[in-house]
Amino acid sequence: MSVVTNTTTIGAIEAPSRRNTELMLLAFAVVIPVFAYINVGLALDGKLPAGVLGYGLGLGLLAGVAHLAVRKFAKYSDPLLLPLATLLNGLGLVMIWRLDQSPRLIQRAENLFGSFSPDAPKQLMYSAIGIALFVAVLILLKDHRILQRYTYISMAVALVLLILPMFFPAVNGAKIWISLGPFTIQPGEFAKIIIAIFFSGYLMVKRDALALASRRFMGLYLPRGRDLGPILMVWAMSILILVFETDLGTSLLFFGLFVIMLYVATERTSWIVFGLLMSAVGAVGVASFEPHVQQRVEFWLNPFAEKTWEQSEQIGQALMSFGSGGTLGTGLGQGDSDLIGFAANSDFILSTFGEELGLAGMMAFLLVYGLIVERGVRTALAARDPFGKLLAVGLSGAFAIQVFVVAGGVMGLIPLTGMTMPFVAYGGSSVIANWALIGILIRISDTARRPAPAPAPSPDAEMTQVVRP
Amino acid sequence: MNKPLRRIAIFCGLLVLALLVRINWLQYAEAEDLNTNSKNRRITIERYASERGNIIVDGKPITGSVETNDTDFKYKRTYVNGPMWAPVTGYASQAFDANQIEKLEDGILTGNSDQLFFDRTMAMFTGDTKKGGNVVTTLNGAAQKAAFEGLGSKKGAVAAIDPQTGKILALASTPSYDPASFAGYRDADAKAWNALEKDKDKPKLNRALREVYPPGSTFKVLTAAAALEYGAVDDIDAATDTPEPYTLPDTRTKLPNSHPGCKNASLNEALRVSCNTVFAKLGDTVGRDKMVEMAQKFGFNNAEIDTPVRAAASVYDKNMDKPGNALSSIGQFNTATTPLQMAMVTAAIANDGKLMKPYMIDQLEAPNLDVISKTEPQEMSRPVSQKNAQLLQQMMENVVDSGTGEKAQIDGVKVGGKTGTAQHGENNSKNPYAWFISYAKTADGSPVAVAVVVEDSEARRDDISGGGLAAPIAKKVMQAVLDSKK
């Protein structure tokens, strides 16, 4: 091999691309949901569901396209991210389909809206769009560093996205939607990616200024105002979201993202203190006069109180759903998680997993999310450029916080906030945005793991090697 | 930047760990609590998910299930002759939970009981649909019918026991309700339920088990038992040194009789014509503590008489003063008893002094009719000796033969009984309760003891009302049991 003769110190031994590993894992990620689908069909109707072939082929096709795109455009990327996301998306589809079959939910929809339309086909379409976006990211984004150029544009776009819902009517108490004709979009889901891009670009440039050019005040390093400006603006933004859009989840997500990225960029623990302090001030300040937030806390503390029950029995129902699942679960299709009623297949879909797959299934499920985050942080560790590092940790941190906030809310660990579980919950914006997120992470990991290009042969080395008699 | 990155990785790990710990807590440690939470609709859904087992009387079900096309509840409970059997079955409603046997034996009736684990597992393999098991009661349909129809439109209750085993044979309460009227959860069910809740006659109250009444003169049987057991009287035909009227101890209150001829009357005679003076004095002679002891041997002051439906505790005050005790000895003051308790007193005397624990579930059956468990008769206590019990029988039979209880006579059968009219309300202003306790006896011992109480507003204020109103009902119930033995 020619590389062996290379005398430079950079080891350019061809790194394995792991694409075949990914393909094998993908096969599992497709087969498991297909079996789950069959399982639900057998449990509900005692026969194979009619759509099993179409569903299996559809999911297989989507996974195949995504895999080919990765093979072609991100050859060295992390082999776990795509299969994990596919598995979650596939299982989510099965669960949404399962809840579509619930007579209780069908009747509920008919009583409320006069008709019932299944959500699973729509979710399948959103998943397809999501994977298309994923492929588009891989094709169009040749190098993630291009995103650096759009730092301030990102900020502007993020602000617009976050402010827009204020001008649309509230849906179920939260103004987090914008509607364009027949489509409704939850801009918060996209905003988390765009804000991560803005933070990465901004912090990469300003990190030294933020970390070093600061005055010591009461043991804390306080940055200069001009460095802090844009960050304070985002902080204020998230407070405003909380106040005007009563969207607890999104503001929590941005607070977390803000603190994590500042800490990574500046490497200063004092920033965590500073960030947490700002978050706390914001949260307490808002909570003290915002009845919506107070109500959520009240529901969380006393899910079974008579008063809570009158207003919303969802949390209590979700908890009982988990309880009913117990250790091994009732089996797919055999639970009563549809008692949750409203949002059973979106915000509360985790309860259905909990009830029908039990503690064992939930642990596996949470670990899959944990693995995605872990691969994301690993990508950040491996990335060679600070922008890539920041972006990767920002995206995976946002992902982790979102999972924690949603799952913690549904399980009664923290007050319920109303975001969606990435990939499994019903909702177009969520699925599409998270596929884009995975696309960007795969792009970064590809750059990070790509072997350094073989250096040009050194003429000096050539000279000394040739000894002529 | 790698050091903070690793810390962030640890932080994310902690987030996932927190979720894992929480889900373990929720699904493992707390699962049981959540599953039994009263707000958990799954309990009700499960209760009606499959055909519920039946409550059986005389080999025939008195309950049933109909299939509905509801999304939550596949089956709905139905009742055969609901108002008559309501004090036995209780109700099982999709909206208003369940009570009595329907609730206590829910596990068997739904088929979810651990005792049915084997059957469930077998059904899983054979592919049979899940079905509930049956509860076979000890009740006697004819006796129940006699009791319910005897009470008719009057307000009251009947409890009948087989003295030799403690089997409950009849348990009637009027006015009653039809549990089928609110078995579902629709508007009509809520309406029926609310109407029953508001009804001032309290039709949902199980008067035979759950209501306490002043026992009036029927309590004199118990005082007589105490007098014999504790030696206050040796010869039931010997004159007692009793003045008329009798002045309550430590007071100047004079206690009269409603009949003449009680002065120095013998115990036998005093019971026959129901002398207040003789029994008040005897109660005082025996003393409060001994009276309490005797009452408790018969089951008073026991809050845990489970048939398995729990009966309210009957009261004989442990701390009252002497005049209180004297009045209590004739069933007044704050003495209060359930009809079941008075049936137990009668049954113990009819069974030669042996009190059997009353019960109404004979056996539990699996869906395939295999017997899962059978209740064995159990002795509860021996309040009086056999000899004294027979003396008491002799006196009670006198009451029916030639005393206040003549209306309970049955041709060819020995019947013992005691009437009572319990005054209540302040200064006895309210209309009295008419009581009658009795037993029938054949050559094989006594097959039935009955207590009847009628809260009758028209009753005349003397002992005849117990004999007049309640005794005929008791007679019909005894007759029904005797007929069914043939």
Predicted confidence at residue A372, as pLDDT, reads: 96
Q: Do residues A397 and A261 make contact, with C-beta atoms less than 8 angstroms apart?
A: yes
Question: Is the Cβ pair B19, A403 closer than 8 Å?
Answer: yes
Mutate which of B3, B5, B73 to test chain A, going by most A C-beta atoms within 10 A?
A: B5
Q: What is the per-residue pLDDT across A294-340, written as a single tens digit (0 to 9) for each?
A: 888 888 888 888 888 888 888 899 999 999 998 988 889 888 888 88
Q: Which of A89-98, A136-145, A325-334, B250-259 has the lowest mean pLDDT?
A: B250-259
Compute the distance between CA of residue B59 and CA of residue B44 in angstroms, rounded to an integer: 28
Q: Do B31 and A326 lie within an 8 Å CB cutoff? A: yes
CB A104 within 8 A of CB B72: yes
User: How confident is the model at residue A98, as a pLDDT?
Assistant: 92
Catalytic residue numbers of B read 217
Taking CB atoms and an 8 Å cutoff, what residues of chain B touch A386? 1
Distances (CA, A) of A225 to A215, A274, B157, B307: 11, 14, 86, 80
- Residue A341: is its pLDDT beyond 90? no
Confidence of residue A389 (pLDDT cuts 50, 70, 90): very high
Chains A–B, number of C-beta pairs less than 8 Å apart: 136
> Which phi and psi (to 5°) does residue B244 adopt?
-140, 125
**Residue of B4, B34, B71 lying closest to A267 (CB–CB):** B4
- B128 CA to chain A: closest CA distance, Å? 14
8 Å CB contact of A323 and B2:
no
User: Mutating which of A324, A355, A403, A421 best tests the B interface, going by the most B Cβ atoms within 10 A?
Assistant: A324
**Rg of chain A taking only CA atoms, in angstroms:** 24
Residue A353: CB partners within 8 Å, gap ≥ 6?
A91, A95, A361, A362, A365, A424
Q: What is the pLDDT of residue A3?
A: 45
Q: How far is CA A100 from the centre of its chain?
A: 24
Q: Which residues of B touch A (CB under 8 A)?
A: 1-9, 11-13, 15-16, 18-20, 22-24, 26-28, 30-35, 37, 39-42, 45, 71-72
Whether cis (ω within 30° of 0) applies to the bond prior to B308 is: yes
Q: Do B19 and A407 touch (CB under 8 A)?
A: yes
> Following DSSP, what letter does each residue of A304-334 receive, concatenated?
TSHHHHHH--HHHHHHHHHHHHTTT-S-TT-
The CA–CA distances, whole Å, from A85 to A81, A126, A258, B114, B443 equal 6, 14, 25, 42, 85
Distance CA B95, CA B75 (A): 13
A14 pLDDT band, cuts 50/70/90, is low
Spell out which residues of chain A touch residue B18, defining contact as CB-CB under 8 Å: 404, 408, 413
Mean pLDDT for A443-462 is 76
How many C-beta atoms surround the C-beta of residue B426 within 10 A? Answer: 6
Classify residue B32 by its DSSP letter. Answer: H
Kindly list the distances between the CA atom of residue B375 and the CA atoms of B26, B135, B194, in Å, as whole numbers in the listed order.
39, 11, 36
Please tell me which residue of chain B has the smallest CA distance to A304. Answer: B39
Q: Residue B86: is its pLDDT beyond 80?
A: yes
B8/A260 Cβ within 8 A:
yes
Half-sphere exposure (CA, 13 Å, Cβ side) for A38? Answer: 9
pLDDT at A334: 86
The residue with greater pLDDT, A174 or A54, is A54
**For residue A2, what pLDDT is reported?**
44
Kindly determine whether residue A377 and residue B5, on different chains, have CB atoms separated by under 8 Å: yes
The confidence band for A29, taking pLDDT boundaries of 50, 70 and 90, is very high
Mean pLDDT of chain A: 85
Residues of chain A with pLDDT > 90: what percent? Answer: 39
- Least Cα separation, residue A408 to chain B (angstroms): 6
In this complex, the residue of B5, B15, B30 whose CB is nearest that of residue A393 is: B5
Write the CA distances from B281 to A303, A462, B109, B257, B324, integer angstroms: 61, 133, 52, 13, 12
pLDDT band, very low/low/confident/very high, at A125 (cuts 50, 70, 90) = very high
DSSP, collapsed to helix, strand or coil, labels residue A427 as: coil
Which of A366, A393, A412 is the closest to B8 by Cβ? A393
- Band (pLDDT 50/70/90 cuts) for residue B197 is confident
- For residues A437 and A195, the answer to whether their CB atoms sit within 8 Å is no
Going by the DSSP 8-state scheme, the letter that residue B71 receives in this structure is S
**Confidence band (pLDDT; 50, 70, 90) for B427?**
low
The answer to whether A322 contacts B4, with C-beta atoms less than 8 Å apart, is: no
Lowest-confidence segment of A176-185, A250-259, B48-57, B222-231 by average pLDDT: A176-185
Give me chain B's average pLDDT, please.
86
Lowest mean pLDDT among A79-88, B7-16, B375-384: B375-384
CA distance B212 to B334: 11
Per-residue confidence (pLDDT) for residue B160, from 0 to 100: 92
Which comes out higher in pLDDT, residue A218 or A117?
A117
**Residue A366 has what pLDDT?**
95
Instruction: Report which secondary-structure segment, H or E, holds B272.
Output: helix B267-273
Would you say residue B422 has pLDDT above 70? yes
Q: State which residue of chain B sits closest to A398, comparing Cα positions.
A: B12
Determine phi and psi for A237, rounding to 5 degrees: -60, -45
Contacts of B303 (CB under 8 A, 6+ apart): B313
- Cβ–Cβ of A363/B42 closer than 8 Å? no
Lowest-confidence segment of A276-285, A439-448, B56-65 by average pLDDT? A276-285
ipTM: 0.90
Task: Please write the tens of the pLDDT for every residue from B279-324.
Answer: 888 888 888 888 899 899 998 998 888 888 888 888 888 888 888 8
> Is residue A28 predicted with pLDDT exceeding 80?
yes
**What is the pLDDT confidence band of residue B461, given thresholds at 50, 70 and 90?**
low
Report which secondary-structure segment, H or E, holds B208: helix B207-210
Across the interface, whether the CB atoms of B8 and A339 are under 8 A apart is answered no
Confidence tier at A1 by pLDDT (50, 70, 90)? very low
Contacts of A378 in chain B (CB under 8 A): 9
Q: What is the pLDDT of residue B201?
A: 83
Q: Which of B20-29, B34-43, B79-88, B138-147 has the highest mean pLDDT?
A: B20-29
Q: Which residues of B touch A404 (CB under 8 A)?
A: 15-16, 18-19
Q: Which residue is closest to B33 within chain A, CA to CA?
A: A323
Helix A187-212, helix A151-163: angle, nearest 10? 130
- Best-predicted range by mean pLDDT among A233-242, A435-444, B104-113, B460-469? A435-444
Q: What is the mean pLDDT of residues A451-464?
A: 65
Higher pLDDT, B7 or B443: B7
CB atoms within 10 A of CB A151: 19
Searching chain B, which residue's CA lies closest to the CA of residue A354? B27
- Residues of chain A with Cβ-Cβ distance to B3 below 8 Å are 267
Report the phi/psi class of residue A312: left, alpha or beta, with left for phi > 0 and alpha for psi in -120 to 50: beta
- Sort out which chain A residues have CB atoms less than 8 A from B43's CB and list them: none
d(CA B275, CA A56): 91
Asked if pLDDT for residue B457 goes beyond 70, the answer is: no
Q: How far is A336 from chain B (nearest CA, A)?
A: 7
Binned at pLDDT 50, 70 and 90, residue A130 comes out as very high
